[in-house]
Structure formats: C-alpha cells, structure tokens
Amino acid sequence: MNVDRFFKAPTGPASLKRKMAAEPTDEALKKFKAEAGVRGSGGGSGGGSGGNDDDDDDGGVNVDDDDARFLGGDGLSDKQRELFDIVDAAEEAPPTIDLLTLKKYVAKLERSITKNEEMRVRFADDPLKFIDSEADLDEDLHNLMGVSAAPELYVHLVKLGTVTSLLALLEHPNTDIQIQTIQLLSELTDDDVVAEASEEGTEGMKALVASLLDHQILDVLVQTLSRLDEFKEGTDDKQGIFNIMSVIDNLISVDQTIAEKVVSSTTLLLWLLSRIAVKQTDSNRQYASELLAILLQNSTANRIALAKSGGITTLLKVLSAYRKKDPGDPDEIEFMENCFDALCSAVGEEEVKAVFLEEEGVELMVIILRERKMSRMRALKVLSHSMTGPGGAACSNRFIDVLGLKTLFPILMHKGLKAYKKEYKSHSELEEDEHVVSILASLFKSSTPENLLRLTLKFSENDYEKVERLLELHEQYAAKVASADRQFELNRREYDEDEEELDAEEERYLNRLDKGLFTLQLVDLVCGFLCTIASEDAVREKMRFLLGRKGKDFSLFTNVLEEYAMNVGDPNTAENPERDVIVGVIEKLHLVNSSE
C-alpha cells in the first residue's frame, strides 16, 4: 500500500472523493471511522491540550514529536496506523460470494432457525427470552442477500434446501421476520440480477424460480398480503407489501406464464383491484396499478378474469377522477397511466368490450376528451383499442350515438393544440394523430348505414376542411417515411455482405413503422373509404380535385394500402378479415380512378 498519499497533496485534477489532512484531527478520524462502520479502539496518542508536551516519558527515553512517529517501526503515527487498519479491514472483505461462503451462510441460517424455534417453545410466555434469537435470525437473512451478486450459485441454494426454510419463514409468528424474508426473496429474484448474469447465472435464476413455484410461493405470498396491514403505524408492513409485489413482478420477468398462474390460482387480482380503489396515492397503490397492467399485457385469460371480477368497473371509477383534474405529482401521473394501460389491454377482448359498453366506458372516455385534461391522450387510446377487432362495431356505433364526433374532429383539426401542448409538455402529437385516424378507420369499417352517413357528412362541413386536413396528414407522414427510407439506405452499408436480405428488409419495414408508416396507412385507408362511398360523390370529387392540383390521383393511396394489406394480420392464417377490408378498398379505388 502506498503511504505517500497520506503525506502529500494529489498531483492530478481535483477528485470527487473525500480528502483528509496528512495528520487527521480527532474529529475527522472519528467521522471516518463511523462512516466505515468500524469501532475505534480509543483516542489517539499525543499530548493533551494545555499540558507540557515538550517531553514524553517512554521507557526513560526522551523524544520529541518527530522522533515519536518512528517508534512503531513503520514510520507512522498512531492515528495514521489506525487509518490503515480501517482501510485494510475494508480491503480484506471478499468482493464476491463463493460456494464455501454460501454454505456457511446457509448453515448459520439453519442453526438460527432451529434455535429460534426451540427458544419460542421453551419460553412461549416470555418474549424477552427469545428476542435475541430472532435478532440473530434477522441478521442471517440480511447476510444471505449478498448471494444475489452470484446468481450462478442459486442452483446450490436450491440443493441446500434453503427455499423450504425461506417459505416456512414467511409464516413466522414475528411479522418482522416475514418482511425480512420477503425482502431477501425480492433481492434474489431482482430482474437486474438476470440482466447482468452469465449463462450460468441465468440458469441459476431459472432453477430458483422453479423451486419457488414447486413450494407454492404464489399462494404463500398472496396469503401474506392479506395478513399485513400497511396502514398500521409503527410497522414495516407497507414495505413488506411493496416487496411482495416486487417478488411477483420479478417472477413474471423470468417466466411469463406465471402471470396467468398467479391470477388463476390466487386472489391477487382481487387484491390489486381493491388496492388501486383506495383514493390516497402512494408507492403501493402505484405499484399495484403497474402490476395489474403487467398481468393483463399478454394474457387473454387474465383480461377476461378482470371483467368477471368487476375490474372494468373499478378501473372506470378510478379513472373518472381524472376527467376534470390532473394528477398531483409524477407518481400519480404514472398511476393514472398504468390504469389506462390496463384498460387498453383489457378492452382488446370481445368479452371485455361488452362489459365496457355496459359500464358506459365509451361515454366516460368522450367526457374525458371534452374536458381536455392530461388524460385526453389516454382516453383516445382506450377508444382506439375498444373499436378494433371483434366486438368493436358496438363501441364504434356507441361513440357516434353519444356525439363523440363532435369532440373527435376538433382534435383531428388540431384546434387548441398549441395551448394544450403549452400546458402539457409531454404531449405527443404523433401519438395523438395515430389514435385519431385509427378511430376514424374503425368508424368507417363498422358503423351502421345511418351512422356512416353522419360520419361522412362531417367531411363536407366548412368547405371540406377535414378532407384537406387528411391530405395534409398524408403529406406529413409520407415525408417522414421517405426520410426514414433514405436514412436506411445510407446506413445499409453497415450490414454484413453475408447478412440475409430478408433481415434487412424486415429492419427497414420496422424502421418505417417507427417513423409513422402505420399512421400513414390509416390516413390513406380513411381517404380510401371517403372516395369509395357511392353516396359521397361531392367528397370524392373534392379529393380528386385537391390531388389533381399536385398532379396526383387515387393511386397515391393504393400504393400505400397495398403494402398495408401485405403486412396486416397473421400471414399464417387463411382468414384475414382486416386484409379483406383493405383489399376491398383498393379494388374500389382502382375503379373510381379509372372512371375519371
């Protein structure tokens, strides 16, 4: 170890690390020791204040201060030697845990569990007699958290039977022990561990998760949720509940099938719904909404279970609070967005759409649009999802019936957008355009004849301003896609010569989607509908006139829609209703274009 750094100033640029004087004061030394977690062995040597310090009596030899520094044989004063002891102790700590250390930790934990059980039986009526054993147990659980730095050892953790012991501790009479065990499980299953792990570490995580599932971890965790009282003051129950949700979240990250298992085999879904219904927003309410959205994200079964459990009603009640007011802080904003995300996922199912209609979800979303609060963008997204796919026709017609067009078209025309963007800096104009034209496309696909007439008449109002707006959107997004194509060609040289052309084309298509191709396709589909409705000759001729001024015709739309038809739906299925609709519009456009 280089001792010179204690006696000279640094030669390089100023460091952010804390620096100490060459001869530290008593106060500085105490502070350094306290932060390092090391107990001092007493005051340093050197005379007291105000005494005669010219001579020190050391075995009859008189020495001055400078000579005294070298009596230890290492050229250091006592204070500096004490500093080195602190640093050396820190350097001797093992940077990572190995198998031998793991076995020691586990063995110590098992002894603490056994001793605690024995003390609780012997002194059941005198907690003071077994409190020390529970403190030891708590400490051993804390020490075991270090294993999360070595997930490749999880296989041995399972073989040692530690999972059985941890699951038993989740039912320990002392709630603090339960909470500490939950925190340990949260640390061990943290998805960051997997992200940074080697192949052996990933396999170790899978082994641990499989063992936890074999020991019915999901049932035990949800039962523990019902036992903890997060609103009780003076306890750590709130943190325990947060960590339980964290463990479940972590398990799903490792194995997506756990999302359906936890909903079908436990009462977690009901608990989450009851938790988000609590009006006061805190970290647990926010996490409950996030976990709910995760459970619904990729599971049809969970979405249907939500509807059967009254979850749509709960979500609508929660979100109705944001129709006239904005969330109070960033945490509440995230809570609101999680609830909207959960609702968007759910209304993708036909069975859920029926419940959404029955609970007047369309009406609530229209009211939110009208109020123009932060929730407006999310309401557009919910409406867009509710109108697509099987069962979407009912939502589309309900939207027109409740005068949704009166609210939708001002958004299409960007009326008041400048003031809205000034109020809400995070507003995404691109995302809003996508949702609006998606709703319009759904309305054209599935409206009743009466509602379709009401829809198309809107485009002839105010000297066909909405038709012009659609063509503006086409130009805007066509330019974005063309720019993406040019950039892709410039970057194409980065592909290896032996890379398959299919991979490059797939990358190109995904890049175009990211830059706005989907919005362009929807805009042109809406234009196609307008131009092929037999009763709307005036709208069609206006569209033809506006295109003709720029030397274009309806083939401008067909070129985009043909690519759309090629990539929509599942290519492996013979039936593709979405593609059939697009192909039908393309064929009609060819007819009206040739009849010019």
pLDDT value at residue 52: 46
Q: 447-481 burial, b if ≥16 CB within 10 A, otherwise e?
A: beeebbebbbeebeeeebebbbbbbebbeebbebb
pLDDT in the model for residue 57: 45
Lowest-confidence segment of 26-30, 159-163, 403-407 by average pLDDT: 26-30
pLDDT > 70? residue 35: no
**How far is it, in rounded angstroms, from Cα 562 to Cα 564?**
5
Contact status, residue 286 vs residue 330, Cβ threshold 8 Å: no
Q: Tell me: pLDDT of 87 over 50.
A: yes
Backbone φ, ψ for residue 62 (5° rounding): -90, 125
- Flag whether pLDDT at 305 surpasses 90: yes
Binned at pLDDT 50, 70 and 90, residue 40 comes out as very low
State residue 494's pLDDT score.
59
Q: Using pLDDT thresholds of 50, 70 and 90, give the confidence band for residue 1.
A: very low
Q: Report the range of poorest mean pLDDT among 66-80, 208-222, 290-304, 536-550.
A: 66-80
Q: Find the radius of gyration of the CA atoms of the chain.
A: 34
Q: How far apart are CA 153 and CA 96, in angstroms?
A: 11
pLDDT of the residue at 195: 72
Lowest mean pLDDT among 2-6, 62-66, 407-411, 577-581: 2-6
Residue 485 banded pLDDT, cuts 50, 70, 90:
confident
Backbone angles phi, psi at 256, to 5 degrees: -65, -25
Question: Would you state the structure tokens that stand for residue 518, as one six-digit string?
Answer: 């989907």
Backbone phi, psi, residue 63, to 5° = -135, 155
Confidence tier at 281 by pLDDT (50, 70, 90): confident
Q: Is the pLDDT of residue 396 over 60?
A: yes
| pLDDT confidence band for 26 (50 / 70 / 90) | low
Residue 596: per-residue pLDDT: 59
Which CA distances in Å does 447 have to 304, 453, 540?
A: 26, 9, 19
63 SS3 class = strand
Output 90 or 99, whichever has higher pLDDT: 99
Is residue 488 very low, low, confident or very high in pLDDT (cuts 50, 70, 90)? Answer: confident
Which run of H or E residues covers position 188?
helix 175-188
The residue ranges of every structural domain in the chain are 97-255, 468-594
Instruction: Answer yes or no: is pLDDT of 18 > 70.
Output: no
Query: How many other CB atoms are found less than 10 A from the CB of residue 308?
Result: 13
What single string gives the DSSP state of each residue in 65-115?
HHHHTTTTSSS--HHHHHHHHHHHHHHHS-SS--HHHHHHHHHHHHHHHHH
Between residues 53 and 384, the one the model is more confident about: 384
Residue 199 confidence (pLDDT): 87
Question: What pTM was estimated for this model as a whole?
Answer: 0.80
Strand, coil or helix: 49? coil
Q: What is the pLDDT of residue 511?
A: 87
List, in sequence order, the alpha helices (H) in 388-516: 392-401, 404-412, 417-423, 429-446, 449-458, 465-491, 501-514
